Structures are given as structure tokens and as C-alpha cells.
Amino acid sequence: MGKKQLALNIIVSLSTMLGMSLALGDVFPSKPIRLVVPYGPGGVGDLTARIVAQKMSENLAQTIVIDNRPGAGLIPGTDVVAKSEPDGYTLGIVGNGQTLGSSLFKNLPFDINKDFSHVSTIGFFDIAVVVNANSSINTVQDLIALANRTPGQMNAGSINIGSTQNLAAELFKTTTKADFTIVPFKSSGEVISAVMGKNIDFGVEILTPLLGPLKGNSVKAIVLMGKKRFSALPNVPTMAESGFPGFEASSWNGISAAAKTPSAILDKLNKAVQFALSNNEVRVKLLDLGIDPKGSTPDEMKDLIASDTKKWKVIIENAKIEKQ
């Protein structure tokens, strides 16, 4: 091979490598990014997204615009992301809420396990069992003992049927074998008010709306359903610590893009998430909301979605919740 041909081949190879590098995101992002949030403004899911996105934008040197697309079953907003261009400029908040969908809805326009490329988890929302502050129930074992003495007479409150809190209550019932009735409410506020007013024996709810009543001693938490204790409630044990190893039920959110988004773009976005979650100000804001800031790799988030889809499917079927 002559020197001219060798030089030409080198130039072609370098040009090809440069083109591939650019295509894979070396210049990403060159314009603002849209983050679709399938919740209304002001809720905990929306606040989490805004807190993390603001710090991500610093790392990426681009604005991240929040696009709220609330709707039944998180479907409208999630579908926007599934059908977007796989270029990293449209992202979405995806989490365990969407893993419930395949078992709750008959005709979803997307497959949560196939139609997305995942970036990272951003926050976990622990679920607590709470009772009235003056209740004689102080532990899970107390609750089980009372349920056994009064079979079918105890009532537990959760928000609407098919919600993570409602399904966590179903899992709690199956696991503990306590005999109680789950009463659905329209809102977290109604559940908490019913616990405070002793209209129900206990409630199953995420920590965010509970923090105020817990600090005000209006209710007390007897157990957490996550994998570890929450820093703001160091004396409240987990279900695993209370004699039920392997029990875990929590809500969580992450960031995803459309399927086939180049890995180089996902990696850059993942680094921006880790940058945000490692920031002390971000962590304090999330913890104050009752959220455990926790990132992941894209593969870890993919595996979490797959495992949650299977877990909740079994619980939904056991609870005999019909698909909508």
C-alpha cells in the first residue's frame, strides 16, 4: 500500500470515527432538553423532577424545560416520551407507577419494558404504616395481634385502588396474614385525616404527606416498607427488621428517554443525574420532602423496572383488581 493510499485511509478512518463520535453525543446537548413529567405541577413527583433537573442543567450547560402532562395512569405523558425521537432531547419521569400499568390497563400505547432507554433512578418514596398518635399499636406485631383478636373488624386506609400505596397495603396484608379491610380514599389528606380522627385503624401512605403530621405528633409510624430506615425517622424500623425479611414496597421515580437513544447520550445524561444527586443542597431538599435521593446505572434502572413489573403483577392478580 502506497503512502498516499495509507494517508487517505487514515483520513477516512478518522473522519468516520469523528462522525460516529459526534453522532453518539459528543456535542450533546446543543439545545434545551424537555423533561416530560406525567404529574400535575406542585406534587411530589413534579417537585422531585424540578429539583433534580435544575442541577442537571448546570452540568449539561443547557436548560431543561419541565413539561407537565398529567393524565390517567400516567399514560399521556409517558406516551409522549415513548414516541419521541431517540436523541436525548425529550426525557420523561418514569418509575414504579408505570410498572403497574401493564397489569392495570388493557390497551397501553407503549411497553414500559421495551419502548424506553433508561438514564437513572432519582428518588425513592418510602411507604409507612401509621396509626393515631394515641393508639395502643406500636409495632407490626401489635397490629397483627389485634387483627387476630378481631378478625375482619380492622380497617386500613390507602388512596385509590391500584395505586402503589393501595398495592403496598395488599402486600402487607398478604405477608402478615393480618385480617383487615382496605378502605380506598380519594387523597392522601383524607387517609391521614381518617387516621387522626380514629375513623380507621391505620393508614398506608408515602412519607411526603406524613412528615408534617408525624412531626406534630398527630400520627405515629410503626413501620417503613422500604429497604432501609429513613434518616428523618431513625427509630422507625423496616418490615425486614420487624420479622418479614425480603419485604419491600416503595414508590420511586427515574428519568428515561425513547428506545434506541445512543448510549453515549445516556451516559452523559446519567453523569448529570449523579452530579445533581451528589449535591448537598439537592439532597437536603429531597430528604426534606421525604424522598431518598438515589441514582443508578441505566442497566440497574432497566432491571428494576423489569422486576417491579413482575412483582406488582402478582399482587394485582392476587387482589383481583380488574384491568381498565
Q: Is the pLDDT of residue 100 over 90?
A: yes
**Summary mean pLDDT of the chain:** 92
DSSP summary character for residue 25: I
Q: Is the pLDDT of residue 180 over 80?
A: yes
Is 238 part of any domain?
no
Structural domain ending residue among the three candidates 224, 259, 289 = 224
How many domains does the chain divide into? 2
pLDDT digit string (tens) for 30-85? Answer: 999 999 999 999 999 999 999 999 999 999 999 999 999 999 889 999 999 999 99
Do 144 and 116 share a domain, yes or no?
Answer: no
Structural domain ending residue among the three candidates 209, 224, 239 = 224
Is 138 part of any domain?
yes
Helix (H, G, I), strand (E, B) or coil at 243: coil
Do 118 and 40 share a domain, yes or no?
Answer: yes
Do 64 and 116 share a domain, yes or no?
Answer: yes
Helix (H, G, I), strand (E, B) or coil at 239: coil
Given a contact cutoff of 8 angstroms between Cβ atoms, the answer to whether 287 and 138 are in contact is no
For residue 185, what is the domain's CATH number? 3.40.190.10
Do 104 and 137 share a domain, yes or no?
Answer: no
Is 323 part of any domain?
no
Do 45 and 117 share a domain, yes or no?
Answer: yes
Structural domain ending residue among the three candidates 206, 224, 242 = 224
Per-residue confidence band for 183, with pLDDT thresholds at 50, 70 and 90:
very high
Do 114 and 183 share a domain, yes or no?
Answer: no
Return all residues near 202 (Cβ < 8 A) that are at least 6 apart: 129, 130, 131, 135, 137, 143, 154, 156, 157, 195, 222
> Rounded mean pLDDT of 141-157?
95
Q: Is the pLDDT of residue 105 over 70?
A: yes
DSSP states along 44-95: HHHHHHHHHHHHHHHHHTS-EEEEE---GGGHHHHHHHHTS-SSSSEEEEEE
For residue 261, what is the domain's CATH number? 3.40.190.150
Residue 9's pLDDT is: 52
Is 301 part of any domain?
yes
Is 23 part of any domain?
no
Do 256 and 120 share a domain, yes or no?
Answer: yes
Do 112 and 149 share a domain, yes or no?
Answer: no
Q: What Cα–Cα distance (Å) separates residue 112 from each residue in 44, 174, 257, 307?
A: 22, 27, 11, 12
DSSP summary character for residue 30: S
Do 107 and 132 share a domain, yes or no?
Answer: no
State the residue range of the domain holding 118. 32-124+250-318
> Rounded mean pLDDT of 125-151?
96
- Cα–Cα distance between 48 and 285 in angstroms, integer? 9
Is 137 part of any domain?
yes
Return all residues near 248 (Cβ < 8 A) that are at least 6 apart: 225, 226, 227, 239, 240
Given a contact cutoff of 8 angstroms between Cβ atoms, the answer to whether 35 and 64 are in contact is yes
Do 44 and 181 share a domain, yes or no?
Answer: no
pLDDT digit string (tens) for 265-300? Answer: 999 999 999 999 999 999 999 999 999 999 999 999
Is 165 part of any domain?
yes
Counting every residue written for the chain, the total comes to: 324
